[in-house]
Amino acid sequence: MVTLIVCFLLDLNYEMPRTCSIVCQVEIATLDQREMFCLSEIEHTLRLPPHLLNLPLAEAIKGELEGLFLDKVIAKLGLCISLYDIRSIDGGFIFPGDGASTYTVRFRLLMFRPFLGEVISARLKESSSTGLRLSLGFFDDIYIPRALLPSPSHDEPDPEDKNQVRWIWEFNEQNYPIDGMDEIRFRVHSIQYPSLPLEQDDGSKPFAPMLITGSLDADGLGPIAWWV
């Protein structure tokens, strides 16, 4: 087991106070056992509003932490899937002029963060002239650019959806379509955490705080039906 300690300002896809910082401990399994999910241990200074003080302390803090982190992306750590556990709760100070209690909480989050080269199965969400967009159900920002599709491939109009195209892999004088009927295996090519834009044009795609680029250009990748 390798332990990596990282200190940084909180960089999520929602606004937090500038004074908020965390210490994160990421547990990474040995190289031959790595998976797309990992536990990250975080120490966070949490302000508990007065209206929650009638609840059991652990229950109130759990709800606040889930509101802050659940379904959020932390740069370099990935997407928070769930609050795994609370390791410790310290403090409970009430500062002058503030009716809330402030606690130092150490807890672990279950994070989705695949490693480069990992092979994952997903479903087809969109197909365009620029490539494919895949979905895991809980995460939709997986893109396969046309340059990383099986070679040679071509696109043609989708007979079932005029707004999309259907990609066809050409192999041994036969055509193999990517039509969304089967799960699609892809290899993780890169993971990006774009900075939050200051402005977005009307009609632009929603901002994605975590982008996965995948590849289908290798044996065993693509629709599962191709290889069974």
pLDDT at position 199 is 74
Q: Determine the pLDDT at residue 136.
A: 96
pLDDT at residue number 27? 44
What would the pLDDT profile of 80-99 be if each residue is shown by its tens digit? 999 999 999 998 888 888 88
| Chain mean pLDDT for the chain | 84
Low-confidence ranges of the chain (pLDDT < 50): 1-22, 24-33
pTM for the full predicted model: 0.79
What pLDDT does residue 36 have? 87
Q: How many CB atoms lie within 10 A of CB 134?
A: 26
CB within 8 Å of 160: residues ≥ 6 apart: none
Each residue's pLDDT tens digit, 129-153: 999 999 999 999 999 999 999 999 9
Phi-psi label, residue 180: left if phi above 0, alpha if psi -120 to 50, beta otherwise = left
Q: Note the pLDDT of residue 32.
A: 36
Query: DSSP of the chain, one letter per residue?
Result: -EEEEEEEE---SS---TT-EEEEEEEE--GGG--SEEEEEEEEEEEE-GGGTTS-HHHHHHHHHHHHHTT-EETTTEEEEEEEEEEEEEEEE--TT--SEEEEEEEEEEEE-PPTT-EEEEEEEEEETTEEEEE-SS---EEEEGGGS-SSEEEEEETTEEEEEEEEEEETTEEEEE-SSS-EEEEEEEEE-PPPPS---TTPPPP-S-EEEEE--STT-EEGGGG-
In contact, 82 and 62? CB cutoff 8 Å:
no
